[in-house]
Amino acid sequence: MALTNKVLWNPFLLPNASAVFFTMPTDATAVMKNGRLRLSNTSGAPATVTLNCDAAGNATGTGNQFVPTVSMAANSTMDVDIPTMGPGWTLRGVSSVAGAISCVETGGTIQT
């Protein structure tokens, strides 16, 4: 298996409607290990965040949440480990306040 180190996604602000922000390559042997991200509430008020890891072809739902709806205090950060991901899997996120929470990739290796 080849190891590929690259930026998985550019920093962005979570929307207030659930949206996909990363999709794994569809190569049949692709696996992501040791993924990590940082969430930062840069607003002056609390906001909730929910993150899902959806297997290819599966609908998003509470069974796929790796960050269930949690409240982040104003001006706080939270580091999160991303579950191991397979080919075509997606990461999806939502915040209760659009633009309040930034999401930055801080590590991970895709093996193919």
Q: Read off the pLDDT of each residue in 70-77 and give the average, rounded to a whole number.
A: 98
Q: Residue 85: pLDDT above 70?
A: yes
Q: State the CATH architecture for 3-111.
A: Sandwich (2.60)
Q: How far apart are CA 12 and CA 1, in angstroms?
A: 30
**pTM for this prediction:** 0.92
Of 43, 34, 42, the closest CA to residue 4 belongs to: 34
Q: Read off the pLDDT of each residue in 77-93 and give the average, rounded to a whole number.
A: 97
- Report the 10 Å Cβ neighbour count for 57: 7
Q: Which pair of structure tokens corresponds to residue 89?
A: 């899997």
Residue 4: band (very low, low, confident or very high) from pLDDT cuts 50, 70, 90: low
The structural domains of the chain, with segments of one domain joined by +, span 3-111
In which element (H, E) is residue 92 found?
A: strand 90-95
Per-residue confidence (pLDDT) for residue 3, from 0 to 100 = 66
Model pLDDT for residues 15-71, shown as the tens digit of each residue: 999 999 999 999 989 999 999 999 999 999 999 999 999 999 888 888 899 999 999
Amino acid type, 21? F
Per-residue confidence (pLDDT) for residue 16, from 0 to 100 = 97
> 64, 54 in Cβ contact below 8 A?
yes
55: CB partners within 8 A, 6+ apart: 64, 86, 88, 89
Q: Residue 5: pLDDT above 80?
A: no
